[in-house]
Amino acid sequence: MTTTRLEPGSPAPDFTLVDQDDRSVSLRDLRGGRVILFFYPEAMTPGCTTEACDFRDSLAPLQAAGYTVLGISRDEPEKLRRFRERDGLTYDLLSDPDHAIHDAYGVWGEKVNYGKTVMGVIRSTFVIDEEGRIDQALYNVKATGHVARVRSLVGV
């Protein structure tokens, strides 16, 4: 279980993961631009679909403001590809099946699901600046309305 939480100003843990098309995506390659990185529990579930579609619907203004949006889950690339196609998602979804990057960002741990304590993904979003530092660290967010809050925080 992860207890480390990232704080604004701390370096964003670097990673290289594969996307829905089995292509490698590295955070370091995105330096010089801003990144919104959101961790979600499972592709094609109701809450995750709501959040992913909200990011899709807000993508144009976020990109116009210089942001790259990336979603990360433990799902395999094939499932991510189906999710992306099913819901018309127009940004990359990254696969972290062993939750190593989830651990690095402090989003894997105990949570309450339907009144039961389980280990899993703590829905969270990070805004990363041009130098690769955490600008915003939003842990344990709700799927509904979350993207509007992110847009407000980044002024988009």
pTM for this prediction:
0.94
Looking at residue 113, what is its pLDDT? 76
Looking at residue 3, what is its pLDDT? 61
Looking at residue 1, what is its pLDDT? 47
For the annotated catalytic residues, the residue numbers are 48
Q: How would you write the pLDDT of the chain (156 residues) with one tens digit per residue? A: 446 899 999 999 999 999 999 999 999 999 999 999 999 999 999 999 999 999 999 999 999 999 999 999 999 999 999 999 999 999 999 999 999 999 999 999 988 778 888 889 999 999 999 999 999 999 999 999 999 999 999 999
Residue type, 93: L
What letter does residue 13 receive in the DSSP assignment? P
Neighbours of 12 (CB within 10 A): 24
Looking at residue 41, what is its pLDDT? 95
User: Nearest-CA neighbor of 128 among 13, 26, 23?
Assistant: 13
The SS3 assignment for 92 reads strand
Contact 149, 51 (CB under 8 A): no
